[in-house]
Amino acid sequence: MQEASTIFIICGPTAIGKTAFAIELAKALGTEIISADSRQCYQELGIAVAKPSAEQLLLVPHHFIDSHSIHDAVNAGVFEQYALQKAASLFQHHQHIVMVGGTGLYLKAFTEGIDEMPDIAPAIRAQIIADYELQGLAWLQTQVQEKDPKFWRQSEQQNPQRLMRGLEFILSTGISILDFRKAEKKQRPFQIIKIGMELPREILNQRINQRVDQMLTQGLIDEARELLPFQNNNALQTVGYQELFAHFNGHISETLAIEQIKQHTRQYAKRQMTWFKKETSIRWMDASNISVEKVLELKA
């Protein structure tokens, strides 16, 4: 009897070491990696989104890294189709595949499918955009908190595109975008093993702060300055860029921008863990003690 095709999904919060371990696992399995990160797919982005290094990319073939431009429309539905097609192709040559990422909605779309979203009233969308451009992010954050507090608690709270999407959805349909994501789970023609990496909060926060310092050494400020002309692009509504854009535009000091990058990244990691901890299918492992052997035992 032929062994079932299996995809190992490595997930968890930012800065916990997912990329390095996924490469280690893929090398042991002699296979390739599909990224499940909503920002690393963009060719123009690099340091701020913690994209694998050139050396890491040479160790194992990666997919959904540098696969799109910031001018392309990329969302969970696009990722679902991309990843399913790539997995089907890879399974023709490999028994196992590794997927790695911290974008919970992308992983959910790949493993369970994603709902087809209803149309949004154009007038509502236009009004929200106009109000946001006039009154700013603080206004938008308040509106989402008031109209859809459940979505607010799980949202990327510094990302105006995501916040506008949630607000326009509840104003158009009367229900939270979170409540809409309840379609029947789709069955996939392969085995899925989800491994979550975790660390004590204080240790993870230290790693996040250290990573931001490392990004600065690598040239994060210069990278962000080059991307300033695209600051309103959806792909640039990202921690690491938004704070530096605010500095370049004269709103905050460089020191405060760096402090906010660290703070917002820590907050993002906390929201990631809140999302992943709700998934009962994830097998959690201590990131400081994870090993290929322990992960492969889960398949036995």
| Cβ atoms 128, 167 nearer than 8 A | yes
Q: Write down the CATH number for the domain with range 122-180.
A: 1.10.20.140
Instruction: Report the pLDDT value the prediction gives residue 1, as an integer from 0 to 100.
Output: 40
Full-model pTM:
0.83
> What HEC string does the chain produce?
CCCCCEEEEEECCCCCCHHHHHHHHHHHHCCCEEECCCCCCECCCCCCCCCCCHHHHHHCCEECCCCECCCCCCCHHHHHHHHHHHHHHHCCCCCEEEEECCCHHHHHHHHHCCCCCCCCCHHHHHHHHHHHHHHCHHHHHHHHHHHCHHHHHHCCCCCHHHHHHHHHHHHHHCCCHHHHCCCCCCCCCCEEEEEEEECCHHHHHHHHHHHHHHHHHHCHHHHHHHHHHHCCCHHHCCCCCHHHHHHHCCCCCHHHHHHHHHHHHHHHHHHHHHHHHCCCCEEEEECCCCCHHHHHHCCC
Pairing of strands 191-198, 96-100: unpaired
**Domain extent listing, the chain:** 6-114+183-297, 122-180
Fold matches, 6-114+183-297 and 122-180: no
| Cβ atoms 132, 164 nearer than 8 A | yes
CA-wise closest residue to 83 among 111, 110, 108, 51: 110
Cα separation, 97 vs 66, in Å, equals 19
CA-wise closest residue to 240 among 26, 50, 23: 50
Each residue's pLDDT expressed in tens, for the chain with a length of 300 residues: 457 899 999 999 999 999 999 999 999 999 999 999 999 999 999 999 999 999 999 999 999 999 999 999 888 889 999 999 999 999 999 999 999 999 998 999 999 997 766 777 788 888 998 899 889 899 999 999 999 999 998 888 888 888 998 999 889 888 888 877 655 788 999 999 999 999 999 999 999 999 999 999 999 999 999 999 999 888 998 999 999 999 999 999 999 999 999 999 999 999 999 999 999 999 999 999 999 999 999 986
Fold of 6-114+183-297: Rossmann fold (3.40.50)
